[in-house]
Amino acid sequence: MKSLIPARTNGVVLLDPMCNEMDEMFQRFFGWPVEAQQETQAMTWAPRVDISETDKGLVVKADLPGVDPKDVEVTVRDGILTIRGEKKEEHEEKQKNFHRVERFCGQFFRSIPLPTGADESNVVATSGRGVLTVTILKKPEAQPKKIAVNSQD
């Protein structure tokens, strides 16, 4: 009967070369070591966003629960919408036999390329119930024009 456990040669698992090749592929593709990528993911977070386009503009909704609107910065420059800020959260719990304080603090950053025709001077950002809503209107010449269809009968 053949064993399903990989054979070892001088203490080295035969699958190690394949694992090393996969790590190198991730390094080439993402531009950083796998270990550094895991550390970065643990230290930062990026808010989830929903992006929708209408005839009049673009609407971006970012989930920012627990983030104070004064800690959020929204900028538009060279066709890129940037949302950045900092989340500061502290939870304190006191009981008869213990006292626990948990803190979370981290910066976030999202960059979203805008479509051609977006009016960078006409941007409105509002925040409510943990959702940041950014509306970027289209320039008038970029908005679709309705064309009447005439009957020849």
Print pLDDT tens along the chain (153 aa): 555 555 555 555 667 777 777 777 767 666 555 454 444 444 457 889 999 998 889 999 999 988 899 999 999 999 999 999 988 877 888 888 888 888 777 889 899 999 888 999 999 999 999 999 999 999 988 777 888 899 987
Reported pTM: 0.62
Helix (H, G, I), strand (E, B) or coil at 19: helix
Q: Into how many domains does the chain fold?
A: 2
State the CATH number of the domain containing residue 138: 2.60.40.790
**Whose structure tokens read 């694992």?**
19
Residue 108 domain flag: yes
Q: What secondary structure, in 3-state letters, does 38-92 show?
A: HHHHHHCCCCCEEEEECCCEEEEEEECCCCCHHHEEEEEECCEEEEEEEEEEEEE
Residue 38 sits in the same domain as residue 95: no
Instruction: List the one residue out of 141, 142, 75 whose CA is nearest residue 115.
Output: 142
Rounded-to-integer distance, Cα 39 and Cα 15, Å: 25
Which residue range is the domain that position 75 belongs to? Answer: 47-142
